[in-house]
Structure 1
Amino acid sequence: PRRTVRRAPTSQPVREVAPVAAARTAPTPAAGGDWERSLAERERELERLRRILEDDRLRYQQVRQPQLQ
């Protein structure tokens, strides 16, 4: 069995990263015609992240239950 070291709680609150990233990539009203392109790019990014999550989930299950391989 692996040993893990517990970290002491940090004194600073943990920041949410997603809202900051979303605000950075969200189109502005001045962009006008770029809304559709921006939405399409964000949908592609979501699909890429879903594939990564599914791969990680499968890898985790294989590690946790090696007898099912």
Structure 2
Amino acid sequence: MRSEIELKLELAPEALEKLLTSDLLGAPDETLNQRSTYFDTADWTLFARGSHFVSAKRAIPISRR
């Protein structure tokens, strides 16, 4: 059975390029284009409580190894 591990990083564009061209993560089996939308209250109540609500849309793989 396959499992998914999600790693979220907040990076500047140049740091992302450096990470993706390094050997740190290895080559991916596939790359997906994904868009996530985070929802919270106007006063960030969920964030303050360490919670979040996310809606994610995934597209078809854009490359395969």
TM-score range, shorter chain: under 0.3
Q: TM-score with structure 1 length normalisation?
A: 0.21
Q: TM-score with structure 2 length normalisation?
A: 0.21
Higher strand proportion, which one? 2
Higher helix proportion, which one? 1
Q: Which has the higher contact order (CA 8 A, sep 6+)?
A: 2
